[in-house]
Structure 1
Amino acid sequence: VVPVGHGESEGKHGWIEGLAILISVIVVVIVTAFNDYTKERQFRGLQNRIEGEHKFSVIRAGEVRQISVGDIVVGDICQVKYGDLLPADGILIQSNDMKVDESSLTGESDHVKKGESFDPMLLSGTHVMEGSGKMLVAAVGVNSQAGIIFTLLGAAVDQQEAEIKKRKKGEEETAPVTGNSHVSVPATISDGAPNKHEEALDHKPSPPPETHKKEKSVLQAKLTKLAIQIGYAGSTIAMLTVVILVIQFCVKTFVIDGKSWKSSYAGELVRHLIIGVTVLVVAVPEGLPLAVTLSLAYSVKKMMKDNNLVRHLDACETMGNATAICSDKTGTLTTNRMTVVESYICEKLSKTIPKFSDIPSHVGNTLLQAIAVNCAYTSRVMPPEEVGELPKQVGNKTECALLQFVQALGKNYQTIRDDVPEEMFTRVYTFNSVRKSMSTVIPRQGGGFRLCSKGASEIILKK
Structure 2
Amino acid sequence: MAAGTNVMEGSARMLVTAVGINSKAGIIFTLVGAAKQKKKAKGDDSSSSSSNFGGSTDESSEKKEKSVLQSKLTKLALNIGYFGTAIALLTVIILAVKFSINTYVINETQFQWSQLNEYIGFIITGVTVLVVAVPEGLPLAVTLSLAYSVKKMMKDNNLVRHLDACETMGNATAICSDKTGTLTTNRMTVVQSFVCNKLARTCKEFLPVPDKVEEMLIRSIAINSAYTSRVMPGEKDELPKQVGNKTECALLGYVTSLSKSYEKARLECPEETFTHVYTFNSARKSMGTVVGRQGGGFHLFAKGASEIMLQKCSFIYGEGGVLEELTAKKRNDLINKVIEPMACDGLRTICIAHRDFVKENPAKNEKLIEREPTWEEEDDIFCNFTCLGIVGIEDPVRSEVPDAIKKCQTAGITVRMVTGDNINTARSIATKCGILQPSDDFLVLEGKDFNEKIRDENNQIQQELIDNIWPRLRVLARSSPTDKYNLVKGIIDSKVNPNREVVAVTGDGTNDAPALKKADVGFAMGIAGTDVAKEASDIILTDDNFSSIVKAVLWGRNVYDSISKFLQFQLTVNVVAVTAAVIGSVLLNDSPLKAVQMLWVNLIMDTLASLALATEMPTPDLLLRKPYGRTKALVTRRMMKNIIGQAIYQLVVIFYLLFAGDVLLQIESGRDDSVPTQHMTVVFNTFVMMTLFNEINARKIHGQRNVFQGIFTNPIFYGIWVSTFVLQILIIEFGSAFFSTKALSIDQWMWCLLFGVGTLLWGQLIISLPNRVVPEKFSLGKDDPALQKLPVGKPSPGQLLWVRSRKRILSQIRVVNAFRATIDTNRLQGAAFKKIEGS
Which TM-score band (shorter chain)? Answer: 0.3 to 0.5
Q: So what's the TM-score if we normalise by structure 2?
A: 0.27
Greater relative contact order, per chain length (Cα 8 Å cut-off, separation 6+): 2
Where is the helix percentage greater, Structure 1 or Structure 2? 2
Structure having the higher Rg: 1
